[in-house]
Amino acid sequence: MIKAIPTDDKQTVSKAFGRAKWFALYKDGSKEAEYLDGSGNAEHGAGTGAAASLIEKAVQQVFAAEVGPKAYDALVAGGVHISIVKAGTTLAELV
């Protein structure tokens, strides 16, 4: 299972999903993250762009403080489970 967490500092959960600087990707219970650059997401539709990138990477679960309705629909349609967590939660707490 691959989990994704939006982050701006590579340590905590970002307030924003689509405009996060990076997405920390954790594979199969690993404590080591691979970071996906989030800056390539479009200014408009950033959430759906982020969702498409994560689905392309075969992410199965997203932990985020907030996910917009279009990004939410895209993630669910891609088979991704979404868990809402508090912004500022450390990444270590979620893996």
pLDDT tens per residue across span 69-86: 999 999 999 999 999 999
Architecture of the domain made up of 2-94: 2-Layer Sandwich (3.30)
58: left (phi over 0), alpha (psi -120 to 50) or beta: left
DSSP letter for each residue of 56-94: HTT--EEEES---HHHHHHHHHTT-EEEE--TT-BHHHH
Name 5's bridge partners.
Answer: 24
pLDDT at residue 42 in the model: 55
pLDDT class for 41, splitting at 50, 70, 90? low
Question: What pLDDT is recorded for position 4?
Answer: 98
At residue 56, φ and ψ (nearest 5 deg) are: -60, -30
CB 15, CB 38: distance < 8 Å: no
Return all residues near 54 (Cβ < 8 A) that are at least 6 apart: 4, 23, 36, 62, 75, 78, 80
What's the DSSP call for residue 44? S
Helix (H) or strand (E) holding 27: strand 22-27
**Domain ranges across the chain:** 2-94
Predicted local confidence at residue 45, as pLDDT: 82
